[in-house]
């Protein structure tokens, strides 16, 4: 039985490695075990409309292509809703995240075209800075940590585990060719009241989701950020070998 092409697997072009080179394609195939059958698929690699003009000047190297491709994008197409089946796939990806004691302390409230009035209320919870771009997002997903375990004890890992689940959701979005950006700047108290979130559950991060949109319609400062270099601390400031602050962990 022949293996599926990326398209047959339902992967969007934006999932493919940047650049469109044969080397990138080979790397992607090696990492995923996928077969890329036709020249058309290879051609796709060099035509990723969502990225044109937005390519970051720095790119992470030597990591799995899906991770390398992920970035928090602000440009979303307000005219193109995210299909409910795709939203389900994002939530399903989150559902399979690891968690301490398999406690699965994540909850999500989805806001989209299916309940427009709730979507508008969710948008109103965002900070002014986030509203400047996130109003374009057709879907918002509020991620909520369940702070206690099922036996009532405090779950000290709840926020960590919600973060893991959110990352799964974000990576699934990348695989589908969607744009996503998590937001901590929103009024959690207002969200609690507006959406009847009970005590013991903490609304932590709102995630904007949409199909790639036109970067040039963003406020000028955000266009610059979208197109600007990505910045990260050097690895030797972040990882130590054997004891705190000892060098060498990344000398591989």
Ligand X SMILES: Cc1cc2nc3c(=O)[nH]c(=O)nc-3n(C[C@H](O)[C@H](O)[C@H](O)COP(=O)(O)O)c2cc1C
> Smallest distance from the beta carbon of 232 to ligand X, in angstroms?
8
DSSP string covering 90-147, please?
HHHHHHT---GGG---EEEEEESTTSHHHHHHHHHHB-HHHHHHHTT-SEEEEEEEE-
Tell me the torsion sign for CA atoms 140, 176, 70, 225. Answer: negative
Select from 18-26, 93-101, 139-147, 176-184 the region that touches ligand X (CB under 6 A): 176-184
Residues 100-159 that bind ligand X (CB under 6 A): 130
Q: Note whether 205 binds ligand X by CB under 6 A.
A: yes
Residues 228-247 that bind ligand X (CB under 6 A): 230
Q: Which is nearer to ligand X, 86 or 186 (CB)?
A: 186
Q: Note whether 60 binds ligand X by CB under 6 A.
A: no
State how far the Cα of 143 lies from the Cα of 106, in Å rounded to an integer.
7
Q: Which is nearer to ligand X, 128 or 246 (CB)?
A: 128
State how far the Cα of 176 lies from the Cα of 7, in Å rounded to an integer.
11
Q: Note whether 183 binds ligand X by CB under 6 A.
A: yes
**Which residue from 184, 228, 229, 248 is in contact with ligand X, where contact means CB under 6 A?**
184
Contact 143, 156 (CB under 8 A): no
DSSP 8-state class, residue 208: E
> Smallest distance from the beta carbon of 37 to ligand X, in angstroms?
32
> Which whole-number Å values give the CA distances from 146 to 143, 154, 161, 190, 201, in the listed order?
10, 9, 10, 18, 5
Q: Which is nearer to ligand X, 74 or 211 (CB)?
A: 74
> Smallest distance from the beta carbon of 140 to ligand X, in angstroms?
12
> Smallest distance from the beta carbon of 114 to ligand X, in angstroms?
24
**Which residue from 124, 185, 190, 223 is in contact with ligand X, where contact means CB under 6 A?**
185
State how far the Cα of 102 lies from the Cα of 106, in Å rounded to an integer.
11
Half-sphere exposure in the Cβ direction for 49 (13 Å, CA): 8
Enumerate binding residues for ligand X (CB under 6 A). 71-72, 130, 181-185, 205, 230
């Amino acid at each position: 039985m022949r293996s599926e092409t990326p398209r047959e697997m339902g992967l969007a072009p934006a999932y493919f490695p940047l650049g469109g080179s044969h080397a990138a394609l080979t790397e992607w195939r090696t990492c995923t075990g996928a077969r890329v059958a036709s020249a058309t698929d290879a051609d796709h690699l060099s035509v990723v409309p969502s990225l044109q003009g937005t390519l970051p000047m720095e790119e992470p190297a030597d990591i799995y292509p899906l991770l390398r491709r992920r970035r928090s994008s602000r440009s979303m197409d307000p005219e193109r809703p995210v299909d409910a089946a795709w939203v389900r796939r994002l939530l399903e990806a989150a559902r399979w995240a690891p968690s301490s004691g398999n406690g699965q302390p994540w909850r999500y409230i989805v806001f989209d075209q299916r309940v427009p009035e709730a979507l508008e209320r969710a948008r109103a919870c965002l900070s002014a800075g986030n509203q400047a771009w996130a109003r374009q997002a057709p879907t918002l997903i509020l991620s909520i940590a369940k702070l206690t375990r099922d036996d009532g004890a405090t779950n000290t890992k709840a926020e960590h585990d919600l973060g893991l689940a959110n990352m799964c959701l974000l990576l699934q979005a990348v695989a589908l060719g969607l744009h996503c950006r998590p937001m901590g700047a929103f009024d959690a108290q207002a969200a609690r009241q507006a959406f009847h979130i009970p005590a013991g559950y903490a609304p932590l991060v709102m995630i904007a989701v949409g199909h790639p949109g036109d970067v040039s319609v963003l406020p000028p400062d955000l266009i610059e950020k979208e197109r600007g270099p990505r910045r990260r601390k050097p690895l030797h400031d972040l990882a130590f070998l054997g004891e705190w602050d000892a060098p060498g962990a990344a000398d591989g």
